[in-house]
Amino acid sequence: MAHFTEHSKDMRNGSLFFLKKLTMSIFSSSAGEEAWQSVTYLDDESGSSEVPSLLRLTIEEAAEGLQSGHFTSVDLAKAYLARINEVSDFNAVLQVNPDVLSAARQLDEERSSHGIPILVKDNIATKDKLDVSANSYALLGAKPATEASVISKLRDAGVFILGKTNMSEWANFRGLNVSFGWSPRGGQTMGTYYPGSTPEGSSAGSAVATALGLSTAAIGTETFGSILEPAELNSVVGLKPTRGLIGNDGAIPISGRQDVLGPLTRTVKDAAYMLNGMAGRRTDLSGITIGVPRNTFTADPTSPIMVSFKSALKTLSSAGAKVVDNANFSEADGFKKLNQQDKGIVRSSELRRDIVQYLQTLETNPNNISSAEDIIEFTKASPAEEYPERDIGKFLWTQAEGIDVNSDKYKTMVEQERFYGGEGGILGAIDKYKLDFLIVPSSLGIGNDLAAKMGFPVLGVPLGFYPEDIPIELDHCKPNLVRVAPGMLFV
């Protein structure tokens, strides 16, 4: 905790730590004895093997188990493969690495502390037999010449790739009536806390897989909300790092100026491990000042989420933090008045440019996709893409007048975003109230949107569940997944 906030003080370099949904789990390790309750699975080679409960297993515990010889990387891989098969109805995993056991065996031979298995979102290139298609048939079989540098770094650290996770097709930049977590290749990923519920966000498969214990951790991507929102709805930790901290190369883009890669894990400590030892060991918040920008919230003050948020603020205070209430954004109202069409200019313009740059790097490209226009035409023509039942409204935005990174519309909106996120928003509040970071109750409101536009890091931590008497609410996209229901995580 302290390690993050110490780095957060250089705000002008974008190292802002913008937190959402803090609870007591931040201040104590969530790794409990239950994680070491062994489960036995059949092993065709040696009879049987024991590994800890995968639902609770953390990266730290996996490393300790490997080091002590309680199990091997091959044991872990086999257990996770069995678990993936067991809960396949959730459609969290798109594709299993056919070489996963040989990769695990090689790591076992190198040293016992190696061999931590993870899953990777299907828009991140891995130089193996796995596809990278953004879950679209348009790029199925298309292979970049090299893998994403973040994957190479993880391999060097002893990680092996179990497989690819399902995701919202094109990272949720296909249509207006397409549900979160749906793709023509992977089907509909389902949320974990209520039957027929939405998994939320485009990194849906990565979040659901982490929640179900299908790997120690998963990698997702976020342009706006795609790591944080599915983490929130599936009770896992999602970390959107500062833009630039992790390279975006090898990831199919939406916006090169806003896209980031980040981990989804079961504990805050594991999120820190995934970011290469960024975790601190402090358990108190003495000397830390936290701001509450209430004029950015949209939730009803009497709603269950705000009741839990009030309790979380008390927890922060009791841990030694100074909480500054109403540390508001000076220009929040101005940002709220911008219409969605204007807000979409930047992302649509950048996708139109950045997708071309990515497609030019492909070593193979069976469908000859070279532009956003080609994607639109392929999606319309391919029955597997389920058009027009699931629309392509967001891709059509890229064809609108003025959607170009050289247009005056684009340049004006970029400057407005910098103002509303900077002096008129996050940085302005940080400077005025002398804050270490800000805290908001959920993905609702403008705080996360502005953090995404500015490239600032955000950590999402589970806050609570809806009560038993809450009315069920459905989302507006096909097939109308459950968004709010008793026992579901707050949204």
Q: Which residues are CB-contacts of 159 (< 8 A; sequence separation ≥ 6)?
A: 116, 117, 118
Kindly list the distances between the CA atom of residue 111 and the CA atoms of 9, 66, 71, 160, 320, in Å, as whole numbers in the listed order: 38, 9, 13, 14, 42
Among 202, 130, 207, 192, which residue's Cα sits nearest to residue 164?
130
CB atoms near residue 317 (< 10 Å): 13
List the catalytic residue out of 179, 183, 206, 226.
Answer: 226
List the catalytic residue out of 20, 78, 121, 240.
Answer: 121
Q: Say what the alpha-carbon torsion angle 458, 197, 80, 271 is, to the nearest 10 degrees.
A: 10
CB atoms near residue 393 (< 10 Å): 12
List the catalytic residue out of 168, 183, 202, 235.
Answer: 202
Cβ-contact 81, 100 below 8 angstroms = yes
Catalytic (active site) residue 121: yes
Token pair for 303: 């709603």
Report the residue count for the chain: 491
Structural Rg of the chain based on CA atoms: 22
Kindly list the distances between the CA atom of residue 70 and the CA atoms of 67, 112, 155, 160, 487, in Å, as whole numbers in the listed order: 8, 10, 22, 19, 36
Catalytic (active site) residue 202: yes
The burial class, CB within 10 Å (0-12 / 13-18 / 19+), for 198 is buried
Catalytic (active site) residue 226: yes
Q: Which residues are catalytic?
A: 121, 202, 226
